[in-house]
Structure 1
Amino acid sequence: MAKRVGKTATEKELKELEIFLDRFPEYKKMQKVTDALTTDLKQQDPAVKQKDFSEGIEELWYKIKNSGEGQVVFEKRNVRSLIYWRVAAAILLMLTISGIFFYTNRQLADNQLTKVIIRHVYVPYGKTAGIILPDGTKVKLNSGSTFSYPETFSKTTREVDLEGEGFFEVTKNAKKPFLVHTNTLTVKVLGTVFNVKAYRNDKNIETTLLTGRVQVELKDKPEKSIILLPNEKLIVDNNISGILNASAANAREAKIEYQVTALPRVSAKGIKETAWLYNRIVFTNQSFEEVAKQIERKYNVQITFEEQSLKNEQISGVLENESLEQALEIIKMTTPFKFRIDGRAIYLAHIGNAIN
């Protein structure tokens, strides 16, 4: 009966129970009471289940004790069988009560799990933010990032969601993997230090590993796992549609949708992937358009290019504590252009061309 209540009984066990109830119909009342009790528990509000459960058990005992009418009389040769079945029935009764108790508490636990509080953090342009997660993991978020995490992690995993850029120092726990979900990929770790850059409007998604080991799964190719070792960076096309699987003969025509590159052996402050942690922007042969996105986040502005060709200019440099105007003047040293600042709006154009 307990297995039947908990929906774990096999066909054979259900058949045995049916034969038993046919042979000892006085126990059919017990089954009906337990069925009524569990059905009632399913329909009730979780907040009152525990109280009603206790009252229901008392009522169950009362009805079982008073269910003697109509009992079957057995011949002497069936006395041993009767004793056997009564012992079995007593055991089943205890199992039934245990089963209902387990079922009720499991339902209450499930309802509590569905009420897990999810915290959402948004970091505006021009700001960064630091968070310590429930397990002690430290996260620093770059400007323009949205981050979600549960107030309490589950018993088996630690899962968070990121849109934007975050630097993670994950507390080690071999029994509970730490997963960072982005729009394109999922990074899985046990305990390590890494950076994830996953802005929705950026050309690429980047995962940079400093220490430890991470496993990256692409959303549309979950069977394909990419392992990163220290000082390696994974670059994934933000509009990924599949994994490169071309031969050398047609590799030029194939679109490279992800690649792993080695980082230079310099300090974390000197690596462009983590320079933002020190309020710096480091760019080496990057398009002006990509650098402009970083400037927008750092200075909380909106940049408009008057010409497409200016977006494609390749520029290099380092920005740190300069004002917005000083930063633009530094870039002008290698890429001639002019700009106009109108509040938080910045307009860029080639020298000699008009700016709206």
Structure 2
Amino acid sequence: MSKSRFIELMAKSMGKTANAEELAELDMFLEQFPDYKKTYQVTNALKGNGAELAETKPEEVNSNLEEIWNRIKSSNKNTANDAKVKPMFRWQWVAAAVLLLVAAGALFYKKTEQQDSLTAENILHEIRVPYGKTEKLKLPDGTQVTLNAGSTFSYPEAFEKNSRDVSLTGEGFFEVTKNAKKPFLVHTAKLVVKVLGTVFNVKAYNNDKTVETTLLKGKVQVELKNNPEKRIILLPNEKLIVVNNREPKSAKPKESKIEYQVTELPDVKPDEVKETAWVDNRILFTNEAFEDVAVQIERKYNVQVVFENQKLRTEQISGLLDKESLQEALGIIELTTPFKFRIEGQTVYLSKKEK
């Protein structure tokens, strides 16, 4: 066997491109030289032992290949017609290719090692709920979450640190599994809600006028992103309302603007709490601006509401929408509010009713 053939087979073996006949040729050749066993560790590294590749420097590989070949050549002085065999590769090129493969092997080993070191906490799941639908899911710790239409929610494959962190844009109803050692944190654009085990609702749509946290059971702590030192404690049946500043940066700041307030929920039955009515696919509204109710209608029925008469936006309306169709729901509101509507595809047009 010629030097070029030996290097060719070594490179192919290491690069996983050798066919069965070539591997058999290399194995038979190595078996003929027991003395080569002392340097066989380098061969094993070249064949893909990642740990050794990572520790083997290119110059060491080059030196060992030279040593391997010289020892084989000296043990096989009688090999005939060696000089007559036309080399398939120049020795310098093959050496460079071998070194390149070694570097690639080391890189692959390190990359694999990094992938193995990834914990389940680094794997994030993202849930996007379209308009017209809600979605329920169970988190790795057993916490139950219901997501409203138009929401985006992300959580890790497993909670492995000292806290259970999730992110929400939109609205979510949480029934958190109690774990005093791992607080549950809901991150939104405006605030962070911290709990140990409780039942609460967070409404944090980017385009809504306010961001709301409603507590039904237990106790939560809310931290405002723009004022992290301010921590607000909520007790059962309390709601935190935070102003969602949607004004452009160029707008002039208003004087003495209220940033947030805490209010108590009305003393009603659990199924009559309007802040969580959406969980049962209902819309409950009492003396609310028509434009705010319209936003809920858009999410529930997957439509766009257009006010052709702007005064309708501020009309105060009350009612309950449950299993009605879109047309039936608008008909119910129409009974107490002077307006008319027309539906064209996925768009609802509202106009003032003429007397």
Give the TM interval when normalised to the shorter protein.
Answer: 0.5 to 0.7
Q: Which of 204, 207, 216 pairs up with 1:210? A: 216
User: Residues 121 and 156 of structure 2 are in contact (CA less than 8 Å); yes or no, is this contact kept in structure 1?
Assistant: no
Judged with a 3 Å threshold, the aligned counterparts in structure 2 of structure 1 residues 110 and 184 are, in CA distance, closer, same or farther, namely: farther
1:78 equivalent in structure 2: none
- Aligned-partner Cα distance in 2 for 1:114–1:169: 23
1:49 shift after superposition? 7.2
Residue 184 (str. 1) matches residue 190 (str. 2): yes
**Is the 2:132–2:300 contact (alpha carbons within 8 Å) kept by the matching residues of 1?**
yes
Q: CA RMSD in A?
A: 2.7
* Paired AA for residue 354 in structure 2: G
Q: Displacement, 1:112?
A: 1.5
Q: Secondary structure at the match of 1:297?
A: helix
Residue 121 of structure 1 pairs with residue 127 of structure 2: yes
For the residue of structure 1 that corresponds to 2:329, the secondary structure is: helix
Deviation (angstroms), 1:48: 7.9
Which of residues 296, 301, 322 is equivalent to 2:298?
296
Change in Cα spacing, 1:318 to 1:51, as seen in structure 2 (3 Å) is: farther
Partner of 1:27: none
C-alpha contact (below 8 Å) 1:123/1:129 kept by paired residues: yes
> Which ranges in structure 1 are unaligned for 5 or more consecutive residues?
1-46, 57-103, 242-251
Identity of aligned residues (%): 63
Question: Is the CA contact (8 Å cut-off) linking 1:233 and 1:260 kept in structure 2?
Answer: yes
Say whether 1:194 aligns with 2:204: no
Partner residue, 2:179: 173
For residue 322 of structure 1, give the secondary structure of its aligned residue in structure 2: coil
2:257 is paired with a residue whose SS is coil
Q: Distance in 2 between matches of 1:234 and 1:130?
A: 24
Could you tell me which runs of 5 or more consecutive residues in structure 2 were left unpaired when the two chains were aligned. Answer: 1-47, 58-109, 248-253
Cα distance per residue 1:30-69 (max 9 Å; x no partner): xxxxxxxxxxxxxxxxx9875668999xxxxxxxxxxxxx
- The residue number in structure 2 matching 1:34 is none
SS in 2 for 1:349: strand
SS at match of 1:266: coil
AA paired with 2:224? L
CA distance in 1, matches of 2:235, 2:54: 54
- What code does the residue aligned with 2:169 have? E
The partner residue of 1:223 within 229, 239, 260 is: 229
Kindly provide the amino acid, as one letter, of the partner of residue 147 in structure 1: F
Decide whether the 8 Å contact of 2:120 with 2:157 is kept in 1. no
Partner of 2:332: 330
CA contact (8 A) 2:213 2:239 kept: yes
Change (3 A) 1:285 1:51: farther
How big is the shift at 1:154? 2.5
Q: Could you tell me which residue of structure 2 aligns to residue 96 of structure 1?
A: none
| Structure-to-structure mapping, 1:58-73, within 5 angstroms | none
Which residue of the partner structure matches residue 278 of structure 2? 276
Contact 1:240–1:257 (8 Å) recurs in 2: no
Name 1:264's counterpart in structure 2. 266
Shift of 1:157: 1.1
How far the C-alpha of 1:321 sits from its partner, in A, is 1.0
State the match for 2:20 in structure 1: none
C-alpha distance in structure 1 between counterparts of 2:121 and 2:255, whole Å: 50
Contact 1:268 1:275 in 2 (8 A): no
| TM-aligned CA distance change 1:333 to 1:109, over 3 Å | same
SS at match of 1:282: strand
Q: Is the 8 A contact 2:154 2:168 kept in 1?
A: yes
* 1:142-181 alignment, distance < 5 Å: 142-181=148-187
Instruction: Quote the offset at 1:110 in angstroms.
Output: 9.7
String of CA shifts for 1:71-102, please: whole Å, max 9, x gaps: xxxxxxxxxxxxxxxxxxxxxxxxxxxxxxxx
CA contact (8 A) 1:184 1:240 kept: no
On the 8 A contact 2:120/2:156 being kept in 1, the answer is: no
State the 1:153 CA deviation.
1.5
1:267 Cα deviation from its structure 2 partner: 2.2
**Cα distance 1:151–1:256, how it changes in 2: closer, same or farther (>3 A)?**
same
Normalising by structure 1, what TM-score?
Answer: 0.65
Whether the aligned pair in 2 keeps the contact of 1:339 and 1:349 (CA below 8 Å) is: yes
When normalised by structure 2's length, the TM-score is 0.65
* Residue equivalent to 1:88: none
Change in Cα spacing, 1:53 to 1:142, as seen in structure 2 (3 Å) is same
What is the rounded CA distance, in whole Å, between the counterparts of 1:209 and 1:115 in structure 2? 28
Q: Give distance in 1, aligned partners of 2:207 and 2:172.
A: 16
- 2:346 is matched with which residue: 344, 347, 354? 344
Q: Any idea what the Cα deviations from partners look like across 1:130-156, whole Å, max 9, x if unmatched?
A: 010011110000111111111112321
Matched AA of 1:199: Y
Contact 1:179 1:189 in 2 (8 A): yes
**Which letter maps to 2:210?**
N
Shift of the alpha carbon at 1:240?
8.1
Q: Offset at 1:158?
A: 0.7
Corresponding residue of 2:118: 112
Matched AA of 2:266: P
